[in-house]
Amino acid sequence: MTLDLRQALNAISDVVTNRPLPLREFDQIYMKLGDMVVHAEFVARRFDKGRLVFVGDGDAVGLSVAHLVNERVLEYGPREITVLDFDERMVNSVTRFAEESGFAESAKAVLYNVVDPIPEGTAETFDGFHINPPWGQHNNGESVVVFLERAAALTKVGGSGVVVIADDATRAWTNNVLARTQKAALELGLVLEQMIPSLHSYHLDDAPELRSCAMVFRKIKDSGLVSGRLSAERLEDFYGRSQALRIQYVREVATIERGRASDRTYRFEELVNSGC
C-alpha cells in the first residue's frame, strides 16, 4: 500500500494538537512529527487486526495508529488499542479524542502506574504491546526492564511487542541499556525478532541528535513472573540520576480552555478610531 504523506501528516497533526504538553519532570519528551508518521505506520502494520496495549504512551503513538486507521489513511492496523498511563491528562485526551472521532470502542485508556501490579483480569489478554519507557541512563536500564515486565505480563504467548529506547553507538549508556534490555527480555520469555536502529528523533534540547530504535520481541513462553508491586529499590534513579519514581499519578486540572489558547497568555488591543 502507498502511504499518502499529506493525509498521514494531517492525521498525526490532529493527534499532536490534542496531546497535553510534556512534563520535563518525568522526561516526557515528544518524538518529532515525521518520525511519528513512520513509527505509527510501522506499528499498525506489525499489529494488524490485533489487540495492542501501550504501557505508557506520552507520544500518543496509540492514538495516532487508531486515528490513521479510522481516517482510512491506513488500510491495516490493530483492531483495538488500550493505553495504560499514569498521566491523567494523557488518559483523558485519548478518551476524549476517540469519543469525538467516533472510535471510542476501539481506543481505550486507563489510569495506571507501573509501580502497581497490572490491572486485574488483563494478564496475557493482548496480542501485542508497545513501550517507550524512561531510558534508564542512570539505573542500568532498570526502568526499561520494569515496563518490559509489565508489558510481557499483559501479552499472550505468541504475541509480540515493540520497545522504543535510546540507541546511539557513541553513547556507552545506550549500549549498556540495549544489552540489559535484551538479557531481561530473554528471562521474560521474549526473543528479539527485529531491530530498526536509530529510527526516531525527539524534541530534546540537550541531546537533539540522540535517536531511539524500535526493537520487536516475540513472546515464546510465559516467564511465570508474578506481577507484584515494585520494591522501593527498583524505583531509585527511575527517571534519571536522583530522580526516583515518587509520583503515583499526574492528575489533570480541569480548565475551560481545553483546545484553545489560555486567555492568560494574550490580550486584545482594540483598533484606535476604527470607525465601527
Instruction: Name which of residues 141 to 170 contact other proteins (CB under 8 A).
Output: 166
Between β-strands 80-85 and 51-55, what pairing exists: parallel, antiparallel or unpaired?
parallel
Instruction: Name which of residues 21 to 40 contact other proteins (CB under 8 A).
Output: 24-25, 27
239 binds other proteins per the rule CB under 8 A:
yes
Least Cβ distance, residue 43 to other proteins (angstroms): 24
132 binds other proteins per the rule CB under 8 A:
no
**d(Cα 200, Cα 210) in Å, to the nearest integer?**
9
C-beta of 24 vs 258, nearer to other proteins:
24
DSSP β-bridge partners for residue 130: 54, 162
177 binds other proteins per the rule CB under 8 A:
no
- Which residue from 162, 215, 211, 194 is spatially nearest to 34, judged by alpha carbons? 211
Least Cβ distance, residue 19 to other proteins (angstroms): 17
137 binds other proteins per the rule CB under 8 A:
yes
Options 34-42, 60-68, 122-130, 239-247: segment touching other proteins (CB under 8 A): 239-247
Size of the site for other proteins (CB under 8 A): 21
207 binds other proteins per the rule CB under 8 A:
yes
171 binds other proteins per the rule CB under 8 A:
yes
Least Cβ distance, residue 129 to other proteins (angstroms): 25
Using CB under 8 A, which of 81, 210, 235, 245 touches other proteins? 210
DSSP line for the chain: ----HHHHHHHHHHHHHHSPPP-GGGT--PBPHHHHHHHHHHHHHHTTTSEEEEE--TT-HHHHHHHHHHTTS-S---SEEEEEESBHHHHHHHHHHHHHHT-TTTEEEEE--TTSPPPTT-TT-EEEEEE-----TTTTTHHHHHHHHHHHHHEEEEEEEEEEEE--TT-HHHHHHHHHHHHHHHHTTEEEEEEEEEEE-B--TT-TT--EEEEEEEE-S-------PPPGGGGTTSSBTTB----S-BPPPP-TTTTS--TTS----PPSS---
> Is residue 125 a contact partner of residue 84, using CB atoms and an 8 Å limit?
no
Least Cβ distance, residue 98 to other proteins (angstroms): 30
Least Cβ distance, residue 201 to other proteins (angstroms): 12
C-beta of 155 vs 174, nearer to other proteins:
174
Options 156-164, 205-213, 224-232, 255-263: segment touching other proteins (CB under 8 A): 205-213
Least Cβ distance, residue 55 to other proteins (angstroms): 22
Least Cβ distance, residue 261 to other proteins (angstroms): 16
**d(Cα 111, Cα 192) in Å, to the nearest integer?**
29
135 binds other proteins per the rule CB under 8 A:
yes
Least Cβ distance, residue 45 to other proteins (angstroms): 29
Binding residues vs other proteins (CB under 8 A): 24-25, 27, 135, 137, 166, 171-173, 203-207, 210, 239-243, 247
